[in-house]
Amino acid sequence: MKSTLYLKAKVLPGNRIEIQNPTLSVGETVEIVILVPEEQSISLAERLAFLKLPITERRRILATQAEEMSAHYEQDSQWQELMAGDIIDY
């Protein structure tokens, strides 16, 4: 069974990323996924403003976003190729 660690890191000089975790052993093989944000995340003030909207408006906004993401993933087959292989548990 795989366990998941969620860490944030800054890119260091030389475009390096350093990860330290006391639960990892020297020589242990790990899988690393790097997520690079494409755009700035929304601010706390924007999140609070969203939460103050009526529930019907929030649901409408979320439904619109879900439709946009659905269309995106239907057009972009690259993610499907990544998920097509066998799952191997080491």
DSSP of 17-52, one letter per residue? -----TTSPTT----------SSPPPPHHHHHHHHH
What's the rounded mean pLDDT across residues 5-27? 87
Q: How far is Cα 19 from Cα 8, in angstroms, rounded to an integer?
A: 9
Q: State both tokens at 38.
A: 């494409």
Q: What's the chain's average pLDDT?
A: 82
Q: Which residue has the tokens 């899988």?
A: 31
Instruction: Note whether 2 and 88 are within 8 A (CB).
Output: no
Q: Sorting pLDDT into bands at 50, 70 and 90, what band is 52?
A: very high
Higher pLDDT among residues 51 and 34, named by residue: 51
Q: Sorting pLDDT into bands at 50, 70 and 90, what band is 55?
A: very high
Q: For position 1, what pLDDT does the model report?
A: 62
Q: Sorting pLDDT into bands at 50, 70 and 90, what band is 69?
A: confident
Q: How far is Cα 52 from Cα 57, in angstroms, rounded to an integer?
A: 10
- What is the reported pTM? 0.41
